[in-house]
């Protein structure tokens, strides 16, 4: 059974860097056609996709955050990481990691089929 | 970005009711539309993928369909455990985008 668990500081000061880790168990991240994503949820903006990483290390991120986001995947420890620089109060949210799974035929496309429980990050001085 | 618009934003229904939630995409997205349920304080849970695929473990009272850029989630007979907020999400083109949610109260 695939399980995801986010971890990281619950409070980050404005203009500082937010760093989160997602521990993945039950599957090896460098096997198969899945991506590993970060998604956040705030009261103001609902659910927002941050970006995703493939097992090879290929990453793509939301253009709205691209200049501040760094995503990485450590295949040796099976951990996904997120770094978000220059945070403001607008970055306060619950951050989730999720598996972006390819459905294949006859149901093509990707969907987030496994989620972590989420971690609340508050940006405040 | 592809904008996803859900309606209604909230609804109240009784056990046994047939409930329909609609999601409209701002452009064509093919069948690449997923539905999630989220209960308070919990992570979203995948219900339907690729318009009409039922995720493993999800009751068969949940179903999905589409007509052009309009997508529908139907709960055939609402149960007490179906409360929560429902979100649609497109996976046609990055960035992935979600609807604003439909809150279902029983």
d(CA A28, CA A93): 28
Map residue A89 onto helix, strand or coil.
helix
Across the interface, whether the CB atoms of B49 and A118 are under 8 A apart is answered no
Nearest CB among A110, A116, A117 relative to B91 is that of A110
Nearest CB among B46, B53, B97 relative to A112 is that of B46
- Quick one: tokens of A97? 């990691």
User: Which residues of chain A have a CB within 8 Å of the CB of B47?
Assistant: none
Across the interface, whether the CB atoms of A109 and B91 are under 8 A apart is answered yes
Query: What does the pLDDT look like over A10-49, one tens digit per residue?
Result: 999 999 999 999 999 999 888 778 999 999 999 877 899 9
Q: Residue A108 — pLDDT band, cuts 50, 70, 90? A: confident
Instruction: Print burial letters for B45-75: b (CB count within 10 Å at least 16), e (below 16).
Output: bbbbbbbbbbbeebeeebbbebeebebbbeb
Q: What pLDDT shows up at residue B81?
A: 95
pLDDT in tens, chain B (106 residues): 999 999 999 999 999 999 999 999 999 999 999 999 999 999 999 999 999 999 999 999 999 999 999 999 999 999 999 999 999 999 999 999 999 999 999 9
- β-strands A69-74, A79-84: how paired? antiparallel
Nearest CB among A49, A103, A115 relative to B96 is that of A49
- Quick one: tokens of A17? 């860097």
Across the interface, whether the CB atoms of B44 and A115 are under 8 A apart is answered yes
Q: Tell me the CA distances in angstroms from A92 to A16, A44, A51, A74, A117, one per residue in order.
A: 13, 10, 17, 26, 17
What number of C-beta contacts closer than 8 Å exist between A and B?
66
Neighbouring CB atoms inside 10 A of B93's CB total 14
Percent of chain A with pLDDT over 70: 100
CA A105 to chain centre: 26
> A54 near A99, Cβ under 8 Å?
no
């Amino acid at each position: 059974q695939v399980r995801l668990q986010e971890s990281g500081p619950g409070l980050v000061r404005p203009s500082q860097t937010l760093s989160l880790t997602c521990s993945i168990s039950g599957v090896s991240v460098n096997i198969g056609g899945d991506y590993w994503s970060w998604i956040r949820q705030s009261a103001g903006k609902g659910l927002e996709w941050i970006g995703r990483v493939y097992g090879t290390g290929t990453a793509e991120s939301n253009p709205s955050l691209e200049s501040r986001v760094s995503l990485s995947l450590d295949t040796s420890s099976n951990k996904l990481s997120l770094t978000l620089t220059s945070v403001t109060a607008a970055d306060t949210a619950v951050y989730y990691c999720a598996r972006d799974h390819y459905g294949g035929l006859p149901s093509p496309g990707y969907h987030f089929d496994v989620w972590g429980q989420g971690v609340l990050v508050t940006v405040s001085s | 970005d592809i904008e996803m618009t859900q309606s209604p934003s909230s609804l109240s229904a009784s056990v046994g009711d047939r409930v329909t939630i609609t999601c409209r995409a701002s452009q064509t997205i093919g069948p690449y539309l997923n539905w999630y349920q989220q209960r308070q304080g919990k992570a979203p849970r995948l219900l339907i993928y690729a318009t009409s695929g039922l995720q493993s473990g999800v009751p068969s009272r949940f179903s999905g369909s589409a007509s052009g850029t309009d997508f529908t989630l139907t709960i055939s007979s609402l149960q007490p455990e179906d409360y929560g907020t429902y979100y649609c999400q497109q996976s046609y083109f990055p960035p992935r985008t979600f609807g604003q949610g439909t809150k279902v109260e029983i």
